[in-house]
Structures are given as C-alpha cells and as structure tokens.
Amino acid sequence: MIRKNPSGHLPVIAESAYIDKTAIICGKVIIKDNVFVGPYAV
C-alpha cells in the first residue's frame, strides 16, 4: 500500500526487487536490482 509522504519523497524500487507485502518502505530510498526485503522489514 502506498501512503502519502508529507515531505513528498517517494521510494524508487527496481522491477526485479522483491518487497514483501508486510514490509514498509518509506522516504527517499533507492532499492536496486535483485534486492529482497523480507516480511515485516521497516
């Protein structure tokens, strides 16, 4: 789920990255190719 960030920064996530649906990615973050973000990661 994408929520509005008050500062306006959004993550940049590569197509090949896996983000678990329970993980939280927020802010000015760059997730590159073949990265795995596991369950409940913040």
Spatial CA neighbour of 14 closest among 29, 1, 36, 33 = 33
Full DSSP string of the chain:
-----TT----EE-TT-EE-TT----SS-EE-TT-EE-TT--
pLDDT digits (tens, 9 = 90+) for 6-38: 788 889 999 999 999 999 998 899 999 999 999
Local confidence band at 5 (pLDDT 50, 70, 90 cut-offs): confident
